[in-house]
Amino acid sequence: MDHLPDHGHHHHHAMSSKHMLPKIHHTSPFIWFVAVLCTVITVAVIIAGIIVFAGYIAIRPRIPFISVTYSHLDLFEYSQAGVLTTKVSITIKWENDNAKAHASFYDAAFILSLHGFEIAKLVAPPFDVRKNSFVEFAYQVESSPISLSPDQMDLVDMYLKQDLVKFGLIGTARTRWRVGLLGSVKFTLHLNCHLNFIKSSMNSTGLYCSSRK
């Protein structure tokens, strides 16, 4: 219904105003279409967000992780000339504590070193871990005779006087697992461990090391 202005004394003014009204109140169908489309998209995004959040809460995804669960110094022969022969046992645990999702581990590589000198590289082929489960790999690392530098010899001597032998284990692995509606999620796991041993007993000092902070 057209809205009419107040009638004045001259009828032709009313007719003129009445003639202009359709232009003022006319709304383009395209504008309505865009407004409705934006509303539909906004509602859809909100609903999708609620569904994803609800799925996340229901699944409670946790990042799979790796840890060193056991280490032992099997051999440590060190001459006055700075020549070292050593053997170390290391067990790495790969754990997936997601109750509803399998996990895959791949591209795993860790360097065992002694005061900056690389002793060995520990690797693992790609493999899967079932939901709420774990896998353990036992490594037997044995070095050929190694000639240490004077600085490395000084560090070894200093720690041996404290009845200690100190190794480092540093590296990364990739993991992938499915998180409900979010799909497949990938993550890089970082491991940075200090493997310390008591020389007189060859046992580990018992420090726990994990990629989960």
With bands split at pLDDT 50, 70 and 90, how would you rate the model's confidence at 60?
A: low
On whether both 114 and 164 belong to a single domain, the answer is yes
pLDDT of residue 28: 79
DSSP state of 36: H
Half-sphere exposure of residue 181: CA atoms within 13 angstroms, side-chain side = 11
Q: Are residues 99 and 45 in the same domain?
A: no
Strand ranges inside 22-82, DSSP E: 65-78
Q: What is the mean pLDDT of residues 146-171?
A: 94
Q: How far is CA 41 from CA 49, 50, 100, 181, in A?
A: 12, 14, 31, 19
97 in a structural domain: yes
Same domain, 53 and 87: no
* Structural domain boundaries enclosing 183: 65-210
- For residues 139 and 36, membership in a common domain is answered with no
CATH number reported for the structural domain that contains residue 170 in this entry: 2.60.40
Task: Identify whether 179 is part of a domain.
Answer: yes
| pLDDT of the residue at 5 | 39
Q: How far apart are CA 55 and CA 139, in angstroms?
A: 39
* Same domain as 203, residue 107: yes
**pLDDT (average), residues 18-23:** 47
* CA 174 from centroid of its chain's CA atoms: 8
Residue 10 clears pLDDT 60, i.e. is over it? no
C-alpha distances in angstroms, 7 versus 15, 43, 64?
9, 46, 80
Domain membership of residue 5 (yes or no) is no
Indicate whether 34 pLDDT > 90.
no
Residue 180's pLDDT is what?
Answer: 64
Higher pLDDT, 160 or 6: 160
| Statement: residue 3 has pLDDT above 50 | no
- From residue 173, how far is each of 44, 84, 104, 113, 194 by CA, in Å? 38, 29, 10, 18, 18
**Distance from C-alpha of 210 to C-alpha of 190, rounded to nearest angstrom:** 9
Domain-located, residue 3: no
The 3-state secondary structure of 164-189 reads EEEEEEEEEEEEEEEEHHHEEEEEEE
| 76 is a domain residue | yes
Calculate mean pLDDT across residues 95-102. 89
- What is the residue-averaged pLDDT of the chain? 84
The larger pLDDT score, comparing residue 29 to residue 57, is at 29
> Same structural domain for residues 52 and 77?
no
pLDDT level of residue 49 (50, 70, 90 thresholds): low
Q: With 90 as the cut, is the pLDDT of residue 59 above it?
A: no
Q: What pLDDT was estimated at residue 176?
A: 93
At a CB cut-off of 8 Å and minimum separation 6, what does 46 contact? none
Reduced to 3 states, what is the DSSP secondary structure of residue 38? helix
Residue 126 has pLDDT above 90, yes or no: yes
Does residue 105 share a domain with residue 151?
yes
Provide the pLDDT for residue 21. 45
- Range list of β-strands (E), the chain: 65-78, 83-96, 103-114, 117-124, 127-129, 133-142, 146-147, 164-179, 183-198, 209-210
Mean local confidence (pLDDT), 177-192: 84
Domain co-membership, 121 together with 157: yes
Q: How many domains does the chain have?
A: 2
Q: Which pLDDT does position 53 carry in this prediction?
A: 57
Between CA 184 and CA 105 the distance in angstroms is 13
Residue 199 confidence (pLDDT): 95
Q: Give me the pLDDT at residue 30, please.
A: 80
